[in-house]
Chain A
């Protein structure tokens, strides 16, 4: 039995997830909690946000994110793909910075326009 707090809304239900019962969730006040509890215990994902170097803009860094959540275990591998990367201004919001980062099938995109 795993215990975790649902983070899908401020109510913060205390969930119990039973690994032996096909990840059945109890303690959730709504279906989103059940979905979250199961996902957290089977295949947790996160959106990763960071920055990459940029030349020719008013600032030396450009903020970026994964365009979709990626498996939690891949976070540091995705971070590594950003090392040593340098963009050239202008950068536009949504511009793909790394395609299919670390084989996750998810792109890393810019989150700010820098002229």
Chain B
């Protein structure tokens, strides 16, 4: 006897959608464990709008989007444990956790969904020469201070990295009366959505320095300034291009990393390209009955896709139980990231487990003009998908019909190439 049919680790949009989907598929003993005080995950601090265009067909703010799922969950019989941190998940699906209410507990489940989300990279701060004064924050930490706690981190701000969180915070700090002097991006293009470049930087005349980096951080106790320099194609600073900015705050927006300590400790194989678990088409990891979805699996830019992916995982967990928890021995097709492709999710597809088609997510390594995405197997082209443009900041999706997969020999390779305009 297990305590639960399904335990979901993490109560962000991924965990919520997975739990609701599993409930709708007929599971009745489900537990969601969340370490924070409230459900909703990172969305609670993302007070800007732009969520839900795909899923609800309207633009919601983060708290509104999360609120809809929290509400929906409350209408089910899913149990929720907040202020509770999962310490360990074993391949046998024992879940060890500690909570304010119950102390240390060991619970068992027939299936587990991992939905721990991601955290911010701090790289870039570590590699930058200079002092280590107060006033250097990750953009997400600053977002939490401003939006949840109501504290302003500073008055004169420079942002390193042009990821979406940094762009959103450039606008947020400006609206709250701070002066944002510059957004500095190492690459020759921004990793953020065009929409955010326009509405967060251009609307407020905040300059974006592409192919630039911070070469020095100054200040004794509090940050007093940074030096910004242009970089060459090798991304090394070009001497003589330095300019100084006097500022009391530096926000780092240099990327997100899936939070996979639990996954690794369970011995579940991780894809070095996504930093998330290697998964099958239904988001099952290599450990049967353990699934992963949302930002813990791959860093998403649109929460709508997180929801879709997590519903898939939740339904799959229910199907796994309905099928009597089978050991996995079905043949699969490996998906390889070929030319110009950074990664794919899923990494493995079992044609026997899909209805009509499998959806494949991926990102390109660098921006591309008019292109086509190619799917090949054993050197033979199976399909081509035209695209007007591709960018690393925007996740791509293609549908792989079952008939196509049946033609594949052992593995398929996804690649992209530019075509003449």
What are the residues of chain A within 8 A of B194 when measuring CB–CB?
5, 7, 12
What are the residues of chain A within 8 A of B37 when measuring CB–CB?
58
Task: Determine whether the beta carbon of B64 is less than 8 Å from that of A75.
Answer: no
What are the residues of chain A within 8 A of B67 when measuring CB–CB?
93, 111-113
Task: Determine whether the beta carbon of A61 is less than 8 Å from that of B203.
Answer: no
B49 interface hit (Cβ, 8 Å): yes
Considering the chains assembled together, what is the distance between the CA atoms of A59 and B175 in angstroms?
21
Task: Determine whether the beta carbon of A112 is less than 8 Å from that of B44.
Answer: yes
Distance between A83 CB and nearest chain B CB, rounded to angstroms: 9
A60 interface hit (Cβ, 8 Å): yes
Task: Determine whether the beta carbon of B63 is less than 8 Å from that of A112.
Answer: yes
Which residue of A12, A46, A63 is within 8 Å of B63 (Cβ)? Answer: A63
> Which of A29, A49, A75, A111: most chain B CB closer than 10 A?
A49
What are the residues of chain B within 8 A of A76 when measuring CB–CB?
175
Which residue of A12, A47, A60 is within 8 Å of B49 (Cβ)? Answer: A47
What are the residues of chain B within 8 A of A72 when measuring CB–CB?
203
A50 interface hit (Cβ, 8 Å): yes
Distance between B282 CB and nearest chain A CB, rounded to angstroms: 26
Q: Mark B373-392, 1 if CB is under 8 A from A, else 0.
A: 00000000000000011000
A53 interface hit (Cβ, 8 Å): yes
Task: Determine whether the beta carbon of B61 is less than 8 Å from that of A65.
Answer: yes
Beyond A63-B61, A79-B175, A112-B63, is A51–B147 a contact (Cβ under 8 Å)? yes
Interface of B is mostly: helix
**CB-CB nearest in chain A for B196:** A7
Beyond A49-B61, A93-B64, is A63–B47 a contact (Cβ under 8 Å)? yes
**CB-CB nearest in chain A for B49:** A47
Considering the chains assembled together, what is the distance between the CA atoms of A36 and B64 in angstroms?
25
Within A65-102, the residues touching B (CB, 8 Å) are: 65, 72, 75-76, 79, 93
Chain B interface residue bracket vs A: 20 to 34
What are the residues of chain A within 8 A of B61 when measuring CB–CB?
49, 63, 65, 111
Which residue of B147, B150, B175, B389 is within 8 Å of A12 (Cβ)? Answer: B389
Task: Determine whether the beta carbon of A111 is less than 8 Å from that of B150.
Answer: no
Task: Determine whether the beta carbon of B63 is less than 8 Å from that of A111.
Answer: yes
Considering the chains assembled together, what is the distance between the CA atoms of A63 and B63 in angstroms?
8
Task: Determine whether the beta carbon of B394 is less than 8 Å from that of A61.
Answer: no
Within B216-246, the residues touching A (CB, 8 Å) are: none
Beyond A7-B195, A61-B148, A65-B49, is A50–B59 a contact (Cβ under 8 Å)? no
What are the residues of chain A within 8 A of B48 when measuring CB–CB?
49
**CB-CB nearest in chain B for A66:** B49
A105 interface hit (Cβ, 8 Å): no
Task: Determine whether the beta carbon of A50 is less than 8 Å from that of B175.
Answer: yes
Considering the chains assembled together, what is the distance between the CA atoms of A11 and B150 in angstroms?
36
What are the residues of chain B within 8 A of A31 when measuring CB–CB?
none
A10 interface hit (Cβ, 8 Å): yes
> Which of A51, A58, A72: most chain B CB closer than 10 A?
A51
What are the residues of chain A within 8 A of B47 when measuring CB–CB?
49-51, 63, 65, 111
B198 interface hit (Cβ, 8 Å): yes
Instruction: Report the 8 A-B pairs with minimum CB-CB distance, sorted nearest first.
Output: A63-B47, A112-B63, A7-B195, A61-B150, A111-B61, A60-B150, A49-B48, A111-B64
Q: List 18 A-B contacts (CB under 8 A).
A: A7-B195, A12-B194, A12-B389, A46-B199, A49-B47, A50-B175, A53-B150, A59-B149, A61-B147, A61-B148, A63-B47, A63-B63, A65-B47, A65-B61, A72-B203, A75-B175, A93-B63, A93-B64
